[in-house]
Each structure stands twice: as C-alpha cells, then as structure tokens.
Amino acid sequence: MSILDNILAAKRAEISAAQTRVSQAEIEQLAAARRDSPRGFAVALEAPGVRVIAELKRASPSRGDIRLGLDAAATARAYACGGAAALSVLTDAAFFKGSAEDLKLAREATGLPVLRKDFIISAYQVYESCAMGADAILLIVRALDDESLEALHRLALGLGLDVLTEVYDAQDAERANRIGARLVGVNNRNLADFKTDARHTERMAGLLPPGVPVVALSGISSDADVSLALAAGIRRFLVGETLVRASDPAGLLRRWMSLEV
C-alpha cells in the first residue's frame, strides 16, 4: 500500500469513530448554526502579486516531527504580519499531528481566510469543516472516485466554502476540469512516495483551463524556487515546512512578496 492508501484507510476509521460521537444529523445542524460567514479564500488569492497560503504544520509522514510545540495563534499572526494571503491548517492528527483546535486558534488570531487541510473523503467531513470554522477545504482528486469528487465539491460550494482541488498528474487534471474546479492546486509531491519536484507545477499548468487560478503545493523552500515559478507564470503558493522552520517567517514572506511577478 502507498502512503496515501494507508492514510485513507486510517481516515475511514477516524470518520466512523467521529460519527459515533456526533451524528450526521448533529454535524449538519452545527454547520447550519455557524455564526460567522466564511471569509473569501479564493478571492484572497486573486489579488495581484505573489500570493502565499501559509501553512501551520506540526509534522508529516515524509519529514517526521517538524515543530510539535507550534503555537497556532502566534504562528498565524506572524504569517499575517508577513503578508500571507490566507492560512492552511493541517487538522489530521494521526499522520500530521494537527487538530481542529489549531484551525480554530489560527482563525481567531487573524482576519485571514483559512483552508482546512485534511484528507476529506465524506460529506460528514465537509459539514464538520464548516462547523469548525473553515473557509475552504482541500479535495484531493486521487483520493476520490468521480461521483464523490463531484458531490463533495458541490456540497462544499453549497455551504459557502471555497474548494482547493488538488491534482498531481494529467489524469487528475482532466477529472478536476470535468467538475468545473474553480481553484486548482498542483501538488509537487507525489503522494505515492512523497518525493517532491518544485518544477512540477509549471509543467502541469498548461493542462488546466485558462483563467483557473493555479496554486503550487509543496516543495517551495527558497527564493530560487519562488523566482523560477514566477518566471513560469505561477504566482500562488502553499508553503508549510519552510515557514514553520523559519526563524523569521514574517520576514521570509515579506521577501517573497517583494520578488517580481
């Protein structure tokens, strides 16, 4: 089994356990009772210049522990100070050591829109994302069959959430195009073996419809990576580990913001 297969198997068990604690009907009621309106995640990425989705990431299967003692609120404020367009928060506990509490604290600390970064494979999780305060969710094309991909994408939009649809290869891109994905992230990391290639997004971008915003996911770790992507017409990035490990993440973000588009 690939790493992704293992994660999805664990996620199915996690969802079943969650449903014994909070029923489907109850989670739908919690989503409906959400008191604030989702912040515009996709809109935040439309502004000119370099746009960075700054990620709160404690650990990963490929890199192990990154920063277990991460202060979600303080990190979110530093990202906002540096000019991040939006936040991404890992909520998977088993493999990334994240939590819904991290998302809540990060969102309360800033006015930035927040992406729930998780392996979302069921309607239950979409309602759960809305209830926990997410402004957008990630849908990974290769983690879903065609019917589920379309249904979860439609459900999220119906709840007022934006969707970042993640693709890796040409087949993924074709499937994302078929559902009319409005915002597409190209993963520079192959989820089968978790190896990265920072130039992968620029090779994939031409397979997506003109006008669909493209976000480079993973593998962005230096000024050179950002500059190469900008030269290829990619100006939206999701960055986690590099920012989490940085001694001055706000300064690093400001430096990236200053690079020419």
Domain map (residue ranges) of the chain: 3-33+49-257
DSSP string, 228-244: HHHHTT--EEEE-HHHH
State residue 35's pLDDT score. Answer: 86
pLDDT at 218 over 90: no
State residue 244's pLDDT score. Answer: 96
State residue 1's pLDDT score. Answer: 63
pLDDT at 151 over 80: yes
Average pLDDT over residues 156-173: 96
State residue 182's pLDDT score. Answer: 94
% of the chain surpassing 70 pLDDT: 99
State residue 261's pLDDT score. Answer: 65
State residue 101's pLDDT score. Answer: 98
State residue 52's pLDDT score. Answer: 97
Three-class SS state of 116: strand
pLDDT at 116 over 90: yes
For the chain, give the mean pLDDT. Answer: 94
175-199: per-residue pLDDT in tens?
999 999 999 999 988 767 777 787 8
- φ, ψ of residue 125 to 5 degrees: the values are -70, -30
25-83: per-residue pLDDT in tens?
999 999 999 989 999 999 999 999 999 999 999 999 888 999 999 999 999 999 999 99
Spell out the CATH class of 3-33+49-257: alpha beta
The token pair that represents 254 in the structure block: 């400001």
Q: Whose structure tokens read 């609120």?
A: 73
C-alpha–C-alpha distance, residues 253 and 79, integer Å: 7
